[in-house]
Amino acid sequence: MKETVKTSRTAGYLEKIFRALNVKYFNGELEEPIITIQSTPRAYGHVTVAKAWQRGDTTRHELNIGAGTLARPIENVVATTIHECVHLWNLQNGIQDCSRGGAYHNKKFKEAAEARDLKISYDPRVGWSITEPTDALCEFILEQDWQDISMNRIEDFYAPRGKGAGDATGKPTGSNPNSHSIKYVCPCCHNSVRGTKVVRIKCADCDMMMTAQ
């Protein structure tokens, strides 16, 4: 496989993974979404409830993989992809698997996900949402010879310039010149802390790098 160091190649790779997962776990019955790579500071990925894209004469859901999470081990990226595919399957079949604005995952999600080689754990803030690959999924990934993705958006310390963002000194710019703190948020549990400069900081609960807001 050619090294995934371009967004176009990486998007194509994710589409290839989706199609194989569709056949393996959904009997090829999932409607193919538009796969995107965008920053999702509060999650590893997402799907849109509405069909957000027009392609020819058809409309499609969006399935996004967080740009800052691409370089995780491939089994975790694939687990996230299946997680989002389960949401698509449930949407397609009229099954409500989330509440609280889509944040809280119920047992219907858990059952559908675990039927597709995912390990799902509970967190009181997001429900049955914590997703890990099972041994069976890892074996399938090895059979497919899928390799880690070789690119990743640097988000653990990067904050773009502009209103409410930080400049190179770590001091905020924008409408509040008296504020000198930066908010860091865990993309998994959404715990937050503030710092007075640009730092690299991890959430001890989730073992995830926190992102600057």
Lowest mean pLDDT among 58-62, 97-101, 207-211: 207-211
The rounded radius of gyration (Å) of the Cα atoms in the chain is: 18
Beta-strand pair 182-185/104-105: unpaired
Looking at CATH, the fold of the domain delimited by 7-144 is given as Zincin-like (3.30.2010)
Mean pLDDT rounded to a whole number for the chain:
83
107-114 vs 74-92: helix crossing angle, rounded to 10: 120
Lowest mean pLDDT among 68-77, 105-114, 177-186, 201-210: 177-186
User: Can you name the residues that pair with 64 across neighbouring β-strands?
Assistant: 36, 46
**In Å, what is the CA distance from 75 to each residue of 52, 100, 118, 144, 196?**
27, 28, 11, 11, 36
Q: Residue 204 pLDDT more than 50?
A: yes
Contact (Cβ atoms closer than 8 angstroms) between residue 77 and residue 37: no
Two structure tokens written together for 48: 């849109």
Lowest mean pLDDT among 95-109, 121-135, 148-162, 182-196: 148-162
How is residue 67 annotated by DSSP? G
pLDDT tens-digit series, residues 125-152: 999 999 999 999 999 999 999 999 989 9
CA separation for the pair 45, 16 (Å, rounded) = 17
User: Can you name the residues that pair with 53 across neighbouring β-strands?
Assistant: 60
pTM of the model: 0.71
